[in-house]
């Protein structure tokens, strides 16, 4: 009986893991899997005036190539006075 229960638990786990790696529709779009990278501020990657740098791009590019289905970008200020630190990403100017 115990062996049977362990077998069933293993099958259920495998079924759930298969769903984790399956495509999902969000609105009109599709995401290749259900793995989501939460927003994480990368202090020190950003350039002067909150501008994005090659280091920022490389950081997100590596996560995308690693297989993450959806990436939520870090906290981004819309006004310089709202920054948590001098090197926080911002989008208050072009």
pLDDT tens readout for residues 16-40:
788 889 999 999 999 999 999 999 9
pLDDT in tens, 80-92: 999 888 888 999 8
Between residues 13 and 64, the one the model is more confident about: 64
**Distance between CA 89 and CA 34 in Å, rounded?**
26
Percent residues over pLDDT 90 in the chain: 50
Q: What confidence tens digit (pLDDT) does each residue in 8-17 have?
A: 667 777 877 8
> What pLDDT is recorded for position 1?
45
- What is the mean pLDDT of the segment spanning 36-63? 90
Sign of CA dihedral 63, 65, 71, 75: positive
């Amino acid at each position: 009986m115990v062996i049977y229960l362990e077998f069933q638990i293993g099958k259920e786990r495998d079924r759930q893991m298969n769903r984790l790696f399956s495509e999902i529709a969000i609105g009109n779009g599709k995401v290749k899997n259900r793995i989501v990278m939460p927003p994480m501020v990368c202090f020190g990657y950003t350039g002067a005036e909150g501008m994005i740098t090659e280091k920022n791009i490389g950081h997100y590019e590596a996560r995308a190539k690693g297989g993450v289905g959806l990436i939520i970008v870090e906290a981004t200020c819309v006004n310089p006075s709202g920054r948590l630190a001098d090197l926080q990403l911002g989008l208050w100017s072009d």
